[in-house]
């Protein structure tokens, strides 16, 4: 049996985002219980030249919604990056999960050889759907997901692998 493009995308993004939502909820409780200004965690970084938690979450959701839309051949929805609280970030994650759940196998399967146009720094490159999903979309999604988790863990939020995997 082969792994379909839908199986390799939507459920993967949904599981990762579900874990992220749970981790963010634990971070909000952590901040409240310890009387930590939530902004301290929301703006925390692993290193000065890296994005803060808020941006990591925004990018994780972008790397779920964008690839699904591109693989399905629909326009990528534009979401403003305006979140400034845990509640707003959790709402964004939930919005991304709902968006991902809307895609059917019929929309995504067969996109292996679809030309995906990516515009970066004003330059357009074309990549085939399978290569895009496996070498760019999923790795970028997990990079930002993992970095968000690591920022919170580094700052004392008690989360573990089951939280990351959305199984807690």
- Cα separation, 21 vs 91, whole angstroms: 8
Residue 75 and residue 20 in contact, taking contact as beta carbons nearer than 8 Å = no
- Where along the chain do its domains lie? 10-164
CB 161 within 8 A of CB 149: no
Place of tokens 């968000």: 148
**Euclidean distance between CA atoms 155 and 52, whole angstroms:** 12
What per-residue confidence (pLDDT) applies to 167?
87
3-state SS class at 19: helix
Burial class of residue 143 in the structure, from the number of CB atoms within 10 Å of its CB (0-12 exposed, 13-18 middle, 19+ buried) = middle
**Cα angle value 139/143/149 (rounded, 5°):** 140
Cα gap 91→95, rounded to integer Å: 6
* pLDDT by 10s per residue, the chain, length 168: 689 999 999 999 999 999 999 999 999 999 999 999 999 999 999 999 999 999 999 999 999 999 999 999 999 999 999 999 999 999 999 999 999 999 999 999 999 999 999 988 999 999 999 999 999 999 999 999 999 999 999 999 999 999 999 887
Task: With residue 127 as reference, give the H or E element that holds it.
Answer: strand 123-128
* CATH fold label, 10-164: 1.20.120
Q: How many residues does the chain have?
A: 168
């Amino acid at each position: 049996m082969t792994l379909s493009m839908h199986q390799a995308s939507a459920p993967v993004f949904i599981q990762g985002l579900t874990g992220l939502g749970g981790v963010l909820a634990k971070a909000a409780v952590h901040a409240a219980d310890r009387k930590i200004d939530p902004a301290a965690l929301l703006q925390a970084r692993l290193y000065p030249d890296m994005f803060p938690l808020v941006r990591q979450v925004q990018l994780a959701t972008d790397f779920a919604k964008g690839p699904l839309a591109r693989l399905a051949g629909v326009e990528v929805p534009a979401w403003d990056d305006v979140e400034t609280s845990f509640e707003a970030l959790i709402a964004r994650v939930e919005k991304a999960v709902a968006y991902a759940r809307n895609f059917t196998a019929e929309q995504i399967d067969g996109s292996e050889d679809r030309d995906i146009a990516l515009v970066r720094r004003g330059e357009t490159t074309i990549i085939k759907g399978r290569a895009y999903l496996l070498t760019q979309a999923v790795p970028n999604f997990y990079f930002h997901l993992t970095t968000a988790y690591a920022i919170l863990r580094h700052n004392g939020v008690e989360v573990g692998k089951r939280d990351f995997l959305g199984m807690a």
